[in-house]
Amino acid sequence: MATKLKPLNQQTIVITGATSGIGLATAKGAAKKGANVVLAARSGEDLDRIAEEIRSNGGKVAVVVADVGNVEDIERISQTAKTQFGGFDTWVNDAAASIWGRLEEVTHEDSRRMFDTNFWGVVYGSLEAVKHLKQHGGALINLGSVASDIAFPLQGMYSASKHAIKGFTDALRIELEEEKAPVSVTLIKPSAINTPFPQHAKNYMDKEPKLPPPVYQPEEVAVAILHAAAHPERDIYIGGGGKMMSSLNKNVPSFMDFVNEKVTMKLQARDEAPRNPAGSLHQPSYDGHVRGDHPGYVMSKSLYTRATIHPVLAGVAMAAVLGTTVLALQNGKDGKSKQ
């Protein structure tokens, strides 16, 4: 059964992790398009400042100070949406945390805390959202990652959490489709995104963490999220580079292992001392910024992503990615044969 979704200007959209990066970009974009927004995060100070900005531009917003790792807080988010706006039409699970460090160095406490946010926050949010959306229709949008498909060294536990999100989201989608529930379930898979994400991560390294390229601006993810809120999509990759890496990992995993070992390991640290090793894993860090300060080149748009969310251009996008993948595969085979 095809799921019909409302135009954005007729929607109420719930967004977790709304005070920074992708969540904040999505909140601003949704409000600009006329949607009511319900914003949730741990920092009440940042939430109040963002809400004031949205209201000053004519938007309608409600805020909830919440930790998505607590199911009671998730229930309060849902109840706030119902009290303030009569319910919601789209629920976006965006809140996330990360850890930079070798797996043998990371404490169990830190790993569990990250899974509370990344995985259980998505589980709690999804199941709470579905209770309402099954009755009224709408979209559930979960933020996975290219790390849902690929394991990145030095971000091993983060990759594991994103793999878990993909498994949960795909299974939930199938179950909802089997019972013909009027719910669209989308998994967004960003490549590296220029948000304050590295500074919020718990850092075990002796240098400041850095995102490996290719890197895209967070507004590009917001475009995809808001598209999925109004147009049913199974999944959306942000960035042709991320899609290519996923395809390579699927078809020649040993080659991607080699690339990650020899290249990616070296691209995840700046040549400077750590700024804030504790990050915001166990407590909120005051932020309110959409973009980070990635020191390398950042792409403002992804032609691949824009093409995939416009059916007429989808074929062109796939042809471009396939061509790039074939070329990379050939180079990988040639390189392997010369060793």
Helix (H) or strand (E) holding 230: helix 218-230
Q: Is residue 320 a part of any domain in this protein?
A: no
Instruction: Copy the structure tokens of residue 153.
Output: 């060294």
pLDDT at residue 320 in the model: 54
Q: What is the pLDDT of residues 109-163, one digit of tens each?
A: 999 999 999 999 999 999 999 999 999 999 999 999 999 999 999 999 999 999 9
| CATH code where residue 25 lies | 3.40.50.720
pTM (2 d.p.): 0.90
Report DSSP state, residue 182.
S
Angstrom distances, CA of residue 18 to CA of 157, 181, 283, 296, 334? 23, 27, 15, 25, 46
Quick check: 63 and 47 in contact, CB under 8 A? yes
Q: Is residue 271 a part of any domain in this protein?
A: yes
Residue 335: CA count within 13 A, CB half-sphere = 11
Average pLDDT, the chain: 92
Quote the number of domains for the chain. 1
Question: Confidence class of residue 287 from pLDDT cuts 50, 70 and 90?
Answer: confident
Angstrom distances, CA of residue 249 to CA of 144, 277, 330? 16, 31, 14
Q: Is residue 286 a part of any domain in this protein?
A: yes
Q: Is residue 308 a part of any domain in this protein?
A: no
Instruction: Copy the structure tokens of residue 231.
Output: 């147009």
* Annotation marks residue 237 as catalytic: no
Nearest residue to 183 (alpha-carbon basis) of 126, 231, 227, 140? 140
Indicate the SS3 state at residue 334.
helix
Q: Is residue 317 a part of any domain in this protein?
A: no
Q: Is residue 201 a part of any domain in this protein?
A: yes
Which of 72-75's residues contact partners 24+ apart within 8 Å by CB, and which partners? 73/40, 74/121, 74/124, 74/125, 74/128, 75/128
User: Has residue 337 got a pLDDT over 50?
Assistant: no
Q: Is residue 45 a part of any domain in this protein?
A: yes
- Selecting among 124, 158, 204, 304, the annotated active-site residue is 158
| Mean pLDDT (whole number) for 295-320 | 77
Q: What is the pLDDT of residues 80-116, one digit of tens each?
A: 999 999 999 999 999 999 999 999 999 999 999 999 9
Q: Is residue 111 a part of any domain in this protein?
A: yes
Question: Confidence class of residue 177 from pLDDT cuts 50, 70 and 90?
Answer: very high
Instruction: Copy the structure tokens of residue 75.
Output: 């229930």
pLDDT at residue 169 in the model: 98
The boundaries of the domain holding residue 213 are: 8-302
